[in-house]
Homo-oligomer: A and B are copies of this chain.
């Protein structure tokens, strides 16, 4: 049996990559124990790779009112709405780890209304899904609803911007047929993985 392709496009060898791109990939490999395929698939275009991960980091690794688990919940919920296999599987793993909850990612990916989360996070995901699916219909009342749950305007930007960034990410992954690493499927599901 042959190894399935991880992209419809050629995947560069590490040694052929610009130094900064290779360094970023080696760093994530060091931390995670493997190289998530998004790094290899997007390295086909180093300029876009740099912008993609700079944007990602600006949204996902900043300080702010949202926890890391909440940020990943937004990713998983909107990727579910966009039917993006890579992002559901990869970010589902990260969500399980951050939330220390082996069930939450599948719940959020399928139907956040049935997830074990409080109404504040339900409102957060409802807004994220509106940005993902019907952004032209956003009105001031949507902001008011989130403020009533205690979100600041900067939190709301974060929620919407993460949904918007993964609108890009989901479409890239779907277009190039990006394949999730096998490792992600199990990560965070059993005690020794957490």
Interface of A toward B, CB cutoff 8 Å: 4, 8-9, 44-45, 47-48, 50-52, 54-55, 58-59, 62, 80, 82-85, 88-89, 102-103, 106-107, 109-111, 113-114, 116, 131-132, 135-140, 143, 153, 157, 160-161, 163-165, 167-172, 174-177, 179, 182, 185-186, 189-190
Contact = CB atoms under 8 A, between A and B. Distances in A.
A159 to B, nearest CB: 9
Query: What is the total number of copies of this protein in its complex?
Result: 6
Contacts of A45: 58, 157, 161
B143 A8 contact: yes
A110 B131 contact: no
Contacts of A190: 186, 190
A-B complex: 4 closest residue pairs judged by Cβ atoms: A51-B55, A83-B136, A164-B171, A135-B174
Given A106-B185, A111-B174, A157-B176, 19 more contacts: A8-B140, A8-B153, A50-B58, A51-B51, A51-B58, A52-B55, A82-B136, A84-B136, A88-B106, A113-B136, A135-B174, A135-B175, A136-B174, A138-B174, A138-B177, A161-B172, A163-B171, A164-B167, A165-B168
Contact of A47 (B58, B172, B175): B58
14 contacts: A45-B157, A47-B62, A54-B54, A85-B111, A88-B106, A103-B182, A106-B185, A113-B138, A131-B171, A135-B175, A160-B172, A164-B168, A164-B169, A168-B168
Contacts of A85: 106-107, 110-111, 114
Nearest to A171: B164
Interface-central residue, A135, A164, A175, by most chain B CB under 10 Å: A175
B175 A131 contact: yes
A12 to B, nearest CB: 14
A44 B153 CA distance: 12
